[in-house]
Each structure stands twice: as structure tokens, then as C-alpha cells.
């Protein structure tokens, strides 16, 4: 019996898939959430739910920290706008993660994993990027993420910190299928954008691989299938496979006027192709869904809301 513990701060979509795999692998899993349905999900999958919101008393989850505990931080950045990181005080967007790190130091945990995003790379004009590529984030989210990553990579700790840079997550219950079906999806800028994707099941497997055989020092990993596609090709594939009409095209200007979100527009302008060599080589991980087509095919062939098999 595996006696190691896993604390997931933010048991959302990824956290729940990780819970399922980790419980199956014999871990004692504890997860925070503010949501009753998620608490029920965690209970029914053999995990312990804790009701907690950033800013609440952390005592309920601190009780689960110790030398055999790995901690996964899966809470998004909590602010929409970037306020800089040059002042004397710790910027507000770093504080929640920094507070967690303080508790992890006190308890001398086994490892901390921070779920970040490839938005930290910024726009590279469609070039390939790996973990050694210089980051110049353009979106507010990307800048906040990069500050948090830098804070963690510079932190002196007795345990390793791993940054997991995620690309666009998809999986059962989180696809473009319903939006296309209901006419809510448009092909922004003709779908020319390059999209980098990873199936939630492979993210959970990657996180488990980091917990089980990750490096002993601080390290960054891109978590992606490594087969970027043009949005149009993905959408046309889904429409062909599911027998749906191809969505209408919307210009970037029309999209910007409709969404009124600088972060959303920045996402459509950013062009990168994300490599996953480090993930596959250093963690010896073979992906179950090596490209988004295989992942979508599996979802379309099964009940879209059913959990994927291990």
C-alpha cells in the first residue's frame, strides 16, 4: 500500500482526474474546493474533501502536510489585470502561492507542483518553444503566471518545486463539441491560430509521473501533446466526425468587440508551437492521446460525460 499523500489545492477539472488516478495508485488524496458537487465527487472517489477558499484559514489542509505529502496547486490566477511586480511588497497575484509555499516549508513536504500555463511564453510567431525558450508574456495572465513561476524557481526549499506549463486542456465534458452544435462557436480570424492541446487524462498521468519520478531539483515541464494544429483543422475534424456544420468565420476585430476581454484577444494573437520532449524523455511518459485528433475521437466514440478509463 502506497502511504504517500497528495494534497490538491483546487480540485477542479484537472484536480478531479488526478484524484481518480492517484487514489487508484494507492495515494491518500485530500482536495480543496468550494463546491458541494466536487466535495461529493471527491468523497465518492475515496478522497477527503476540504472546503476552502484562498484567504480562508488554511489550518484544515495544513493538517495534511508532512514529509510524505506532495502538493499540487491548481488554482488559477485570481486577478484579471496585471499590476506589476516592481514594488517592495509581494504583488497580490503571487501572495496565494507564496502563502502555500510558506506552509509547505514549515512542514517540509515532499514536493510542490504549480500548474502554470504556456501563456508565459508570449507570442513566438508560430515558432517551436521548449522550456529553455525565453519567456516574454504579453497577456496579463501570462505576466502574472510568469511572476509566480519566477518566485517559485528562485525559492530556496529543501524539496523540489515543479512547474507544469499546461496548454489548452480538453477531455470528456470539456470539448468544443457542444459549443459548435449550439452555434456558439465561431472560427475567429478564419481559425488560422495554432492551438496546442493536451487531454486531461494525460495531464493527470504527467503529474503522477512528476510525483513518482520527477527531478530532485526545481524544474519546468511543458505539458502538451506536442502536436499543435490549426484551429480550423481541429474544428473541421470535429465537424466531420460528429456530422456538424462548420461554424461561421468571425474577424479578430469583431471578436474583440464582442468579447471585450484583452486576455481573450491576446490568446488568439499568440502563435506558438509547444514541444514536449522533456516530458517524454525525462519522465519516460508515453501519452495515451498523442494528438488532439486521437483524444477527440475517443471522446466522440464514448459517452462524452463518462470518465476516461485508466
Ligand X SMILES: NC(=O)c1ccc[n+]([C@@H]2O[C@H](COP(=O)([O-])OP(=O)(O)OC[C@H]3O[C@@H](n4cnc5c(N)ncnc54)[C@H](OP(=O)(O)O)[C@@H]3O)[C@@H](O)[C@H]2O)c1
By the criterion CB under 6 A, which residues form the site for ligand X? 10-15, 33-35, 38, 53-54, 74-76, 78, 115, 117, 166, 168-169
Terminal C-alpha separation, the chain? 19
Contact partners, residue 159, CB within 8 Å, separation at least 6: 104, 108, 109, 110, 111, 112
| Cβ-based nearer residue to ligand X, 54 or 194 | 54
Q: Which is nearer to ligand X, 55 or 67 (CB)?
A: 55
Give 13 or 27: the residue with its C-beta nearer to ligand X: 13
Cβ closest to ligand X, residue 148 vs residue 187: 148
- Confirm if 161 and 70 have CB atoms less than 8 A apart: no
With beta carbons less than 8 A apart as the criterion, state whether 139 and 270 touch: yes
Taking the least distance from each CB to ligand X, the nearer of 68 and 98 is 98
Handedness of CA 20, 26, 32, 35 (dihedral sign): positive
Give me the half-sphere count of Cα atoms (radius 13 Å) on the Cβ side of residue 274.
28
We find the least distance from the C-beta atom of residue 39 to ligand X, in angstroms, to be 9
Looking at beta carbons only, is 38 or 69 nearer to ligand X? 38
Residue nearest ligand X, Cβ-based? 12
* Distance of closest approach, residue 223 Cβ to ligand X, in angstroms: 9
User: Closest approach of Cβ 96 to ligand X, in Å?
Assistant: 8
Give the shortest CB-18-to-ligand X separation in angstroms. Answer: 9
- Parallel, antiparallel, or unpaired for β 128-129 and 273-274? parallel
Residues with Cβ within 8 Å of residue 9, at least 6 apart in sequence: 32, 52, 61, 71, 72, 73, 74, 75, 100
Minimum distance from residue 105 beta carbon to ligand X (Å): 20
CB of 114 to ligand X, least distance (A): 9
How far apart CA 179 and CA 185 sit, in angstroms, is: 5
Amino acid at each position: 500500500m502506497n502511504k504517500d499523500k497528495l494534497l490538491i489545492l483546487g480540485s477542479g477539472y484537472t484536480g478531479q482526474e488526478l484524484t481518480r488516478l492517484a487514489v487508484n495508485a494507492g495515494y491518500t488524496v485530500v482536495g480543496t474546493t468550494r463546491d458541494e458537487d466536487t466535495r461529493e465527487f471527491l468523497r465518492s472517489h475515496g478522497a477527503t474533501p476540504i472546503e476552502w477558499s484562498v484567504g480562508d484559514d488554511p489550518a484544515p489542509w495544513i493538517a495534511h502536510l508532512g514529509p510524505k505529502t506532495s502538493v499540487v496547486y491548481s488554482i488559477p490566477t485570481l486577478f484579471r489585470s496585471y499590476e506589476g511586480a516592481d514594488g517592495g511588497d509581494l504583488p497580490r497575484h503571487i501572495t496565494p502561492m507564496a502563502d502555500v509555499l510558506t506552509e509547505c516549508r514549515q512542514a517540509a513536504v515532499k514536493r510542490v507542483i504549480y500548474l502554470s500555463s504556456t501563456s508565459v511564453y508570449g507570442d513566438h510567431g508560430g515558432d517551436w518553444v521548449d522550456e529553455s525558450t525565453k519567456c516574454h508574456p504579453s497577456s496579463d495572465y501570462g505576466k502574472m503566471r510568469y511572476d509566480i513561476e519566477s518566485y517559485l524557481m528562485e525559492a530556496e526549499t529543501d524539496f523540489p518545486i515543479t512547474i507544469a506549463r499546461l496548454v489548452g486542456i480538453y477531455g470528456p465534458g470539456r470539448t468544443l463539441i457542444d459549443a459548435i452544435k449550439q452555434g456558439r462557436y465561431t472560427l475567429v480570424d478564419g481559425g488560422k491560430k495554432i492551438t496546442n492541446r493536451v487531454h486531461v487524462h494525460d495531464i493527470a498521468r504527467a503529474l503522477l509521473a512528476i510525483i513518482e519520478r520527477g527531478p530532485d531539483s526545481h524544474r519546468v515541464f511543458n505539458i502538451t501533446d506536442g502536436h499543435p494544429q490549426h484551429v480550423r483543422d481541429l474544428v473541421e475534424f470535429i465537424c466531420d466526425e460528429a456530422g456538424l456544420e462548420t461554424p461561421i468565420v468571425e474577424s479578430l476585430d469583431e471578436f474583440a468587440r464582442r468579447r471585450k476581454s484583452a486576455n481573450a484577444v491576446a490568446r488568439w494573437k499568440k502563435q506558438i508551437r509547444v514541444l514536449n520532449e522533456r516530458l517524454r524523455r525525462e519522465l519516460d511518459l508515453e501519452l495515451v492521446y498523442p494528438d488532439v485528433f486521437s483524444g477527440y475521437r475517443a471522446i466522440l466514440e464514448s459517452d462524452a460525460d463518462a470518465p476516461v478509463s485508466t
